[in-house]
Chain A
Amino acid sequence: MKILFQLAVAASLAIPMTADAETFNIHVGGICSTDFGSTLGTWAGQTSVNAQIDQRDSMATATAQMTTTLDTYCTGANLCYVYVYSNGGAVMSRTLALHSTAWNIGYVASAASNEGGSEIGGTGVLASLFSCALSGHIGTSDHRNGWNHNDSHGIVTGMVAGNGWLAPYVQSAILPGHDDGAVSEASAGGYATTTGRNSICESATKYANHQAWFSCEYGSLNHLAMKLKMVCDDGGLTTGCP
Chain B
Amino acid sequence: MIVALVGWWTTRGTAPVAAAPSTTATEPRAAAPARVAPAGAARVAPLPPPPVSPYPERGVAGLSTDDPLTAYRKANVYPPTSRPLSSDQLDLLRPNQRYEVMRAADHGDGVSYLFTADRYFVIGDEILASTLEVRRNGEPLAVRLTQAYAEVVSPADDRHRVALAFASSGGVLMNTFAPAQLGLARQSGIGLSVEFDDGVATQRAHFDVQYTPLAGIPARFTGAFGDSVEAGSLVVHVAVDVTSPGPYVIDANLFDAADQPVAWSRFKADLAAGTHDAALVFFGKVIVDANAHGPFHIGQLRGARFAAGRDPDLEQMPPFAGSFTTRAYATDAFSDAEYDSADKQRMIELLGHDHTHRGGAGRGE
Contacts and interface: CB of A to CB of B under 8 A. Distances in A.
A211 B64 contact: yes
Nearest to B307: A60
Contacts of A212: 60, 62-64
A10 B39 contact: yes
B173 interface: no
B257 interface: no
Given A6-B39, A155-B75, A148 B59 contact: no
Q: Number of contact residues on B: which range applies?
A: 35 or more
A14 interface: yes
Contacts of B314: 98, 146-147
Interface in A153-204: 153-156, 158, 170, 173-174, 176, 190, 192-194, 201-204
A104 B345 CA distance: 11
Contacts of B311: 57-58, 60-61
Nearest to B269: A100
B354 A106 contact: yes
B90 A192 contact: yes
Interface in B170-190: 189
Given A18-B350, A57-B156, A241-B365, A206 B359 contact: no
Interface residues of A, number: 93
B45 to A, nearest CB: 14
B346 A201 contact: no
A174 B6 contact: no
Given A102-B343, A106-B354, A11 B13 contact: yes
Contact of B205 (A122, A144, A154): A122
Interface string A211-226: 1111110000000000
Contacts of B207: 122, 139, 141
A11 B5 contact: yes
Contacts of A61: 311
Contact of B80 (A109, A123, A152, A234): A152
B124 interface: no
Contact of B306 (A98, A107, A119): A98
A64 interface: yes
Interface in B33-51: 39-40
11 contacts: A45-B356, A58-B154, A58-B312, A67-B308, A150-B264, A156-B75, A193-B91, A204-B58, A205-B89, A213-B364, A234-B359
Q: Name the 8 nearest CB pairs between A and B, nearest first.
A: A206-B59, A214-B364, A140-B99, A14-B13, A11-B9, A203-B61, A11-B5, A60-B311
